[in-house]
Amino acid sequence: MGYFEGLADASFKEDSNGNSVFYPWGVLGKGRVLPDEATKIKLRTCVIRYYQIMLPIGILLGILRLWLPAILILTVLTLGFYLYVNQVTKDCPICTEKLTLKESYKNSAKSHNTLMLWFMLLVSLLFVLGGIWLFFKGRLFIGLGSVVFFGLCSAAFILMLKIKHKKP
């Protein structure tokens, strides 16, 4: 599976009754018990498309330092995602079980390719080094932000690699 599929799978889990549950806002929100596999596929496809659009636009506009257009475009896209998800899940019961961060990473790790996880870890670590370099070059805010953000990304990739290679 690809990178975006792995990200999308972090939003789904099976509850204690074996039902598929969708958490549109991940560990920060409530889940919805899905009625069938077709609904799960529809929502999973929506999440994948959302990430495929949001991430490149956010990165490009960030690189170009177009902050206001970035905020406006990403807000509109997130609102569209919210409205679509609410329409699809409006009749789905709310799940009482929460999605834990560990479950989310486990689901994502299962769907990511090991080589991709190693690659993303390497890239994240390079950005940490770049952030350290920026920090010492006087770009304190950007450098520190890069170290913190990509340091957390690196920790997430390490956790997913550990989960993926854990013996059952």
- Do 82 and 4 belong to one domain? yes
For residue 84, being part of any structural domain is answered with: yes
Q: Please, which residues bridge with residue 13 across strands? A: 21
pTM: 0.80
For residue 21, being part of any structural domain is answered with: yes
For residue 105, being part of any structural domain is answered with: no
- Do 127 and 77 belong to one domain? no
For residue 104, being part of any structural domain is answered with: no
- Do 129 and 79 belong to one domain? no
- Do 76 and 138 belong to one domain? no
| pLDDT under 70: residue ranges of the chain | 1, 167-168
- Do 80 and 19 belong to one domain? yes
Amino acid at 144: L
Q: Can you give the pLDDT at residue 136? A: 94
Overall domain count for the chain: 2
Q: Can you give the pLDDT at residue 107? A: 86
Choosing from 72, 97, 122, the residue where a domain stops is 97
Q: Can you give the pLDDT at residue 59? A: 87
For residue 142, being part of any structural domain is answered with: yes
Q: Are 110 and 126 spatial neighbours (Cβ–Cβ below 8 Å)? A: no
Choosing from 34, 67, 97, the residue where a domain stops is 97
Of the candidates 146, 149, 123, the one whose C-alpha atom is nearest the C-alpha of residue 134 is 146
Q: Can you give the pLDDT at residue 151? A: 96
For residue 31, being part of any structural domain is answered with: yes
Domain that holds residue 120: 113-168
